Amino acid sequence: MTKLSVNINKLATLRNSRGGNVPNLITSAKDIESFGAQGITIHPRPDERHIRYQDARDLKKIVTTEFNIEGNPVPSFIDLVLEVKPTQVTLVPDAEDAITSNAGWDTIKHKDFLVEVIKTFKEHGIRTSIFVDPSVEMVKGAAKTGTDRIELYTESFAHQFAEGHKEKSIAPFAEAAKMAHELGLGINAGHDLNLDNIKFFKENIPHLLEVSIGHALICESIYMGLENVVNMYLHRLK
């Protein structure tokens, strides 16, 4: 079974655009869980342009499914995660000025750093995942960091799938996932997954444990409603 973790960054963006507390992230997260999603993901960035560090603390009190916090492990992020103790932390090598995540880790170059950070989180009972491009070499490097899981960065899949290059879009992901499974790593995936591409991705990536989906899911919900859309994903992930 592949779990759906809904990334609520975009709801925070909407809230922040007006000040105030509409939409209320706590109510939204509870509703998303009640619609059947098996997790809530947030990706606080140091500028707190969408999710604020305080949101992470507040959400921890009410999330009853899997709580996944993603981000670049700068000192303030590490402190936040150790305080909040989510189910899972996903490490993403965000550049400060990036609009959104745009690359996976170089798990070879940053091995020593990743080993140290992952050890710290695991000592505190937090499952770890690291964001990687669909590269066998990067997956092999990830396995040497001690991480529990990887998250495959699916932007290139989504882009090529939308262009109609189905087989080409999935091939490196299938190969990277096969290697991850052989090395004992759990497999998550995310970025630009949507209602059009999720079924094909799921069908072609065995052992896919979890997908985190935000941007498209919230955009689709504008037309079809959050409850419907969550259920449409759950149906495609069966």
Ligand X SMILES: CC(=O)[C@@H](O)[C@H](O)COP(=O)(O)O
Ligand Y SMILES: NCC(=O)COP(=O)(O)O
2 known ligand binder: no
Question: Which residues here bind ligand X, judged by CB under 6 A?
Answer: 7, 9, 43, 70, 92, 100-101, 131, 190-191, 214
191 is a contact residue toward ligand Y (CB under 6 A): yes
165 as an active site residue: the answer is no
- Which residues between 4 and 23 bind ligand Y (CB under 6 A)? 7
Residue 75 CB, nearest approach to ligand X (Å): 20
* 71 in contact with ligand Y (CB under 6 A): no
Residue 93 touches ligand Y, criterion: CB under 6 A: no
Q: Residue 152: enclosing H or E segment and its boundaries?
A: strand 149-153
DSSP 92: -
Among 216, 229, 230, 237, indicate the residue that binds ligand Y (CB under 6 A).
216
Closest by Cα among 134, 174, 128, 125 to 152: 134
Beta bridge partners of 210: 3, 188
8 Å CB contact between 12 and 58: no
CB < 8 Å & 24+ apart, contacts of 14-20: 16/49, 16/50
Q: Is 55 annotated as a binding residue?
A: no
| CB contact at 8 A, 84 and 60 | yes
Residue 18 annotated as binding site: yes
Q: Is 214 annotated as a binding residue?
A: yes
Residue selected from 215, 227, 231, 234 as contacting ligand Y according to rule CB under 6 A: 215
Tell me which of 151, 191, 210, 220 is the catalytic residue. Answer: 191
Q: Closest Cα partner for 40 from 60, 17, 68?
A: 68
Angle subtended at Cα 74 by Cα 68 and Cα 78, rounded to the nearest 5 degrees: 50
Q: State which of residues 128, 173, 190, 220 lies at the interface with ligand Y (CB under 6 A).
A: 190
The answer on whether 27 is annotated among ligand-binding residues is no
**Least distance between ligand X and beta carbon 25 (Å):** 13
For 21-42, give one letter per residue: b (16+ CB within 10 A) or e: eebebeebbbebbebebbbbbb
124 catalytic residue (yes or no): no
Q: Which does 39 bind (CB under 5 to 8 A by kind): ligand X, ligand Y, none?
A: none
Instruction: Show which residues are catalytic.
Output: 43, 70, 191
> What does the binding site for ligand Y look like in residue numbers (CB under 6 A)?
7, 41, 43, 70, 151, 190-193, 212-216
Indicate the annotated binding residues for 1-deoxy-D-xylulose 5-phosphate: 45, 50, 100
